[in-house]
Structure 1
Amino acid sequence: MTDISSNRLGREPSAYLRQHADNPVHWQPWSKQALDAARELNRPILLSVGYAACHWCHVMAHESFENPEIAEVMNALFVNVKVDREERPDIDQIYMAALSAMGQQGGWPLTMFLRPDGKPFWGGTYFPPKARHNMPGFVDVLNAVNNLWQGNKEKINHNAEAVFNHLEAQLAAQSEARANEVTRFNEVADRIYAMFDPVRGGIDNAPKFPNAPFMDALWLSWLYNREVSHRDAFLLSLRTMLQGGIYDHLGGGLCRYSVDADWLVPHFEKMLYDNAQVIRHATYAYAETQDDLFCIRIEEVIDWLMLEMRLPDGSFASSLDADSEGEEGKFYIFTGSEIDAVLGDQAESFKSWYGVKPAGNFEGSNILNRLHAVGEPAMLPPDIEASRQKLLAYRSQRIRPGRDEKALTDWNALAIRALAEAGRSFQRQDWIEYAVTAYRSIGSSFQNGRMAHCRMDDVLLYPALSTDYAAMINAALSLFEATGDRTFIVDAVALKDALDAANRDASGNYRLSALDAEDVILHAYGDYDEAIPSATSQIIEAFTRLFLVTGDLHLYNQNERLVEQAMGRALVQQYGQIGILNAARFAAEPLSLVIAEESCEGELSLIAQHNPDPRRVDKFVPFEAGKAIELPTGGTAHADKPSAWLCKGQVCLAPVETPAALEILLRGHS
């Protein structure tokens, strides 16, 4: 019989799992052995899913999982399984969808009760140890589930089968293919705009998340349709986030979300993916507005990545914890008297600049912010900058929040792409070099046609998910644009072939987990957005971009079919799958720019670099008078002087020869 009489998390590479290695709970990692033990013992599985930077995960761990009396109940009644949602997002997605199917609000920690075959029959999120605030106590929940297990298996089986059937229909069933009609995107973009807060930006009401897929929709709507109101909502949201308390005004970096509607009070964890995506959004915003705020914040966030998130091999850690010394936000907040003691005569001007109040704005302390000055110039006066550096040095002596050092392939790929694109736009070769180094590090796991999903302490977790391959293809293509090195195209093609082999099913669709993964109860399509766009949307975007670079018509046709099948599913769950609608809009009318001049640092290339556009893929070719130049449409062109050709879908416009003409063309094209 499989032994579950002890806690087996101590040797797991995941930092989150190791945080629970000393719990008196007999935690098991997700494995065939744990499910086998549940069958042998005829016990339900208690599945707890979280992540290292999660504040409420820490709270529940301290209140319940570290409590010997509660652990005794858990060990007696259940096979207890811990999952790191970042290590296994495919498992997290299945059981989070199950909780939603039960009519409950999702979140972490996720607490689910499963039959021994892994099918869920009940669940929740955070439970206090004893009942309070209309929430049942955790021990009461454990006993109630056990009583149901012992006395009413019929009800449990009915619930489990009903939920599983719903999961199959929602996550794994193919809908009727639908034509890629751009009006669908336009309608949803309008509805998303209507949901945005006209004063502070972001989705109206609290809590507020950066919500990159929704932001992408607004920006694409501006680019394709010249919807000025959508552009303004995007810019307002981004400005307010970057001036709010959700942004770390001393050390840089964006927190995961704001608990209030004003972007003032964050949950203080910092995630790699949020900061990668805000770099890209700010790059577009700066090109559009020339507002120094965006340029300043890009540099600050990248400096933060290099200082606090970069691992020794050049890849990036996944997150910083919300807590330090057992308190959420303790590292980041200050009392007025603390600031007085550190800054002396300069304290009053600094406190006025950053909205510091005598009574505080967060539990008696202060979260630095510029919400009172969102529209004012962002450049700091010299005296404020000197004080900022002084307070940062003071803060650096505090005990830091923990860092989850696992390097996730998809999140790193988002950061690589952001660094490559920002580096290209701002002519920062150092940022591009950071991106190349991280790409080489993450790409080193790509062996024998398979890629790892994450690395922790030199332990690689295979197989990759479809998000990993898609994000790395996009990263490779952005590095090609930034460097002109065609080996990145070769890499992108190899990654695409590996994705096909590992995750593409007989219908031509892509499953989130590898098809040969045996430890999931179903193979879901990766259709649902979370804080990042869905796997399916990233695949569509990657394939569209790869076609523009290679001209591979087989890839073009394959992607068209994928878009139509994904649209059939996305139109059922539009808001949860806006990433697919965004990617499909791009696939319907992609732009490509071919620049032929003597140097990739020539005048035409610089204009393209200063005008980044998520709809566009740029390709540089060395200019030789009279030499044929291949265009993305499959045709060729000739020129007597350096020129640029902008192509929309299968149609290329007349070439332009001057920087001014190219600037007008790129800024005016919709």
Structure 2
Amino acid sequence: MNRLAGVTSPYLLQHADNPVDWWPWGPEAFEEAKRRDVPVLLSVGYSACHWCHVMAHESFEDDTTAAYLNEHFVSIKVDREERPDVDSVYMDAVQAATGQGGWPMTVFMTPDAEPFYFGTYFPPEPRHGTPSFLEVLDGVRTAWEGRRDEVSEVAAKITRDLAERVLTPSAAGLPTEETQAQALLQLTRDIDPATGWFKGDTKFPPSMVVEFLLRHHARTGSVAAREMAEGLCGAMARSSLYDQVGGGFHRYVLLPRPEGTLVPHFEKMLYDNALLCRAYAHLWRETGSDQARRVALETADFIVRELRTSEGGFASALDADSDDGGGRHVEGAYYVWTPGQLVEALGEEDARHAAAHFGVTEEGTFEEGSSVLMLAQGPGVADAGRIASIRTRLLAARDRRERPARDDKVVAAWNGLTIAALAETGAYFDRPDLVERATEAADLLVRLHMDGGARLTRTSRDGRAGANSGVLEDYADVAEGFLALAGVTGEGVWLEFAGFLLDLVLDKFTGEGGELYDTAHDAETLIRRPQDPTDSATPSGWTAAAGALLSYAAQTGSAAHRAGAEGALGVVAALGPRAPRFIGWGLATAEALLDGPREVAVVGAPDDDAARALRRTALLGSAPGAVLAFGTPDGDEFPLLRDRPLVDGSPAAYVCRHFTCEAPTTDPAELARKLSR
């Protein structure tokens, strides 16, 4: 029976034709394991995961392995992007037991969902001290059948240990000036000044840390914070992490060779690109950097061009692998170039110029003489037009290659991040088309994911909502996107939708001590209710909720939402000085808290030139976490506009904290000064 054929997850659908008798996550699978008295294999991955594809091809498509699994196990396949709650709970167990984690995640459990043996990728034959997957299966079956009491005892202990991991707000209180200064000091120790990257061979994009650094500089004037942000963003933009031809960022880069060549892990994720698009736009707002402007706009255009769905949302990811032109499915084949391919696309002279500019060599930096592209040298002013022409022609040539597969499910949280990025980037750079794309995605979330009011659905695909309820990051990031859209468009309906979602955060995701959980109190019961305040590839739901609650309180004056934000931020005071790279969004939110955040009300007719000038000045202000409302005096949609009259009949701007305002100004230059100190 093919149980995966009707699901919405592209990752599960990739396994629908496996000889393995897969079950989706659900009570039926565990009931079947109890009936047969066999252990459960839980395999967790995602569609753009290279090693997930490798293990699927080597083991799950193998008839012998599948027959063994089908006889001795009930096998459950989970898309971690659809069920981050399941992934989080069992990844905690994997990391506690092995000291590391990753995907594919392989967990063996009792029929009561209690884990007792773990791993990630297992090869089809023993390698480098790692047993083969069949050896692992045979060992687990033997233990289950011959040492059941021991297995049950181990499983019960692991489950108890996981259940006891409940985080509560730190007794350290709210983050302070000292918290932020210590976090910055720790970051300076982690940075490699020779490269601009953080130390270590694996380079993930530190989007949330960049946001903290920019906000800290804006609030305190710290030159070190600004220079670190510029260094990180410059290093990423020049490296092969960034797609030098088509724009957008890959997942991460590695340093696998002695000569230190940065080689990407080539999948492209919506969340990375949304976060980085916004970070580079904010860097431009702070510094005026031409490079930051280019990268922000190219990344926004990549998102719209490559990831926008026909329904107006944004797809989750592009795979790393594609056909190399010779019938082989190879990681990175779509993105790398040989010198001969450059000549074919550009002609001899421009090929030599491109090779020098992008670091393409005869011996190559990747497989079989191909090279990943990076900026070996920056173009001079006279060279910029030539490089732009070369990029355009390379993109056209690349478009004739087989494209990587696209995971076209729409994830609410990541679309919320994208809405914020496109709305702000469009507003900063006078690109109303980007604001329109953000609005269309927001419309889709309201129409399809908000389900008329009771809950937020995490995913949809092809215009059909999935079955999984949203987790905390969905509510928080969608609210963040709606709040950004409200500030850019002046349409108060987005503020209302954000308030609806954040009321649910306070009601369903917040504990009695102010702690936050990743799942609602009425969600499916797992062996542990997941919660985690630390950032991974995206802001944690915990700190994302704190940021959105704080912004909403600044827009509305709501004491309840302000209290919710402050209750959640206690954890930043504890973790920020010790592990700032893993709580960047919490530190960024703390910067907003320390600054107020500032509330800006611009009153005036939307078509009035003076009002538009004040509005643009407010949008470009870098005060950390500042919120903006604009419209006519006493506008009903934004509480900030109430009792804010025109000044001598002219449009005016009010800069406030906690709804207490300074004297209004009609002068954009004066407004800029108010927002810069």
What does residue range 57-72 of structure 1 map to in structure 2 within 5 Å? 57-72=52-67
CA distance in 2, matches of 1:565, 1:248: 36
Deviation, 1:193, is: 2.9
Deviation, 1:119, is: 1.7
- Counterpart of 1:460 in structure 2 is 466
- Counterpart of 2:601 in structure 1 is 594
- Counterpart of 1:492 in structure 2 is 498
- Counterpart of 2:352 in structure 1 is 348
Deviation, 1:612, is: 4.4
Alignment CA distance shift 1:197-1:159 (3 Å) = farther
Alpha-carbon contact 1:255-1:266 (below 8 Å) kept: yes
Deviation, 1:579, is: 3.4
The number of residues matched between the two structures is 659
- Counterpart of 1:305 in structure 2 is 303
2:175 to 169, 178, 181: 181
What does residue range 57-456 of structure 1 map to in structure 2 within 5 Å? 57-170=52-165, 172-174=166-168, 177-182=171-176, 183-260=178-255, 264-325=262-323, 326-345=329-348, 346-373=350-377, 381-444=384-447, 445-446=449-450, 447-456=452-461
Q: Normalising by structure 1, what TM-score?
A: 0.92
CA distance in 1, matches of 2:353, 2:549: 52
Deviation, 1:415, is: 0.3
2:616 to 581, 606, 609: 606
- Please list the CA deviations of residues 357-416 of structure 1 after superposition, one character each: whole Å capped at 9, or x if unmatched: 111111234445344336x65896333322322222121111111000100000001000
Deviation, 1:108, is: 0.8
Alpha-carbon contact 2:365-2:372 (below 8 Å) kept: no
2:21 to 10, 22, 26: 26
What does residue range 495-506 of structure 1 map to in structure 2 within 5 Å? 495-506=501-512
Alpha-carbon contact 1:193-1:218 (below 8 Å) kept: no
Deviation, 1:138, is: 1.1
Alpha-carbon contact 1:177-1:566 (below 8 Å) kept: no
- Please list the CA deviations of residues 119-140 of structure 1 after superposition, one character each: whole Å capped at 9, or x if unmatched: 2112111111111122221111
Residue range with higher mean Cα deviation, 50-59 or 634-643: 634-643
CA distance in 1, matches of 2:594, 2:427: 26
Deviation, 1:526, is: 4.2
**RMSD, matched Cα:** 2.7
Deviation, 1:527, is: 2.1
CA distance in 2, matches of 1:148, 1:454: 38
Residue range with higher mean Cα deviation, 251-260 or 34-43: 34-43
- Counterpart of 2:628 in structure 1 is 618
Gaps of 5+ in 2: 324-328
CA distance in 1, matches of 2:210, 2:130: 34
Alpha-carbon contact 2:216-2:591 (below 8 Å) kept: no
Alignment CA distance shift 1:155-1:632 (3 Å) = farther
Alpha-carbon contact 1:217-1:582 (below 8 Å) kept: yes
Larger RCO: 1 or 2 (CA < 8 Å, sep 6+) = 2
- Counterpart of 1:473 in structure 2 is 479
Deviation, 1:145, is: 1.7
Alignment CA distance shift 1:79-1:508 (3 Å) = same
Gaps of 5+ in 1: 1-5
Alpha-carbon contact 2:557-2:659 (below 8 Å) kept: no
Alignment CA distance shift 1:653-1:332 (3 Å) = same
Structure 2 counterpart SS, 1:52: coil
Structure 1 counterpart SS, 2:366: coil
Residue range with higher mean Cα deviation, 191-200 or 410-419: 191-200
- Please list the CA deviations of residues 245-264 of structure 1 after superposition, one character each: whole Å capped at 9, or x if unmatched: 11112221100100128683
Alignment CA distance shift 1:12-1:359 (3 Å) = same
Structure 2 counterpart SS, 1:135: coil
Alignment CA distance shift 1:377-1:8 (3 Å) = farther
- Counterpart of 2:326 in structure 1 is none
Structure 2 counterpart SS, 1:102: helix
Deviation, 1:111, is: 0.8
Structure 2 counterpart SS, 1:364: helix
CA distance in 2, matches of 1:42, 1:104: 30
Alpha-carbon contact 1:623-1:642 (below 8 Å) kept: no
Alignment CA distance shift 1:217-1:103 (3 Å) = farther
Deviation, 1:651, is: 5.5
Deviation, 1:432, is: 0.8
Deviation, 1:583, is: 2.5
Deviation, 1:574, is: 6.5
Alignment CA distance shift 1:175-1:391 (3 Å) = closer
Partner AA of 1:63 in structure 2: E
Partner AA of 2:569 in structure 1: V
Partner AA of 1:442 in structure 2: L
Structure 1 counterpart SS, 2:675: helix
- Please list the CA deviations of residues 115-164 of structure 1 after superposition, one character each: whole Å capped at 9, or x if unmatched: 21112112111111111122221111111222222222333233323322
Partner AA of 2:154 in structure 1: N
- Please list the CA deviations of residues 23-77 of structure 1 after superposition, one character each: whole Å capped at 9, or x if unmatched: 1111111111111112222222111111000101111111111111111222222
Alignment CA distance shift 1:570-1:174 (3 Å) = farther
Structure 1 counterpart SS, 2:122: coil
Alignment CA distance shift 1:372-1:164 (3 Å) = same
- Please list the CA deviations of residues 508-566 of structure 1 after superposition, one character each: whole Å capped at 9, or x if unmatched: 54321222222522222242321111111111111111111111223323433343477
Alpha-carbon contact 1:264-1:369 (below 8 Å) kept: no
Q: Normalising by structure 2, what TM-score?
A: 0.91
Partner AA of 1:298 in structure 2: A
Matched, 1:535 2:545: no
Structure 1 counterpart SS, 2:473: helix
CA distance in 2, matches of 1:316, 1:70: 36
CA distance in 1, matches of 2:213, 2:577: 18
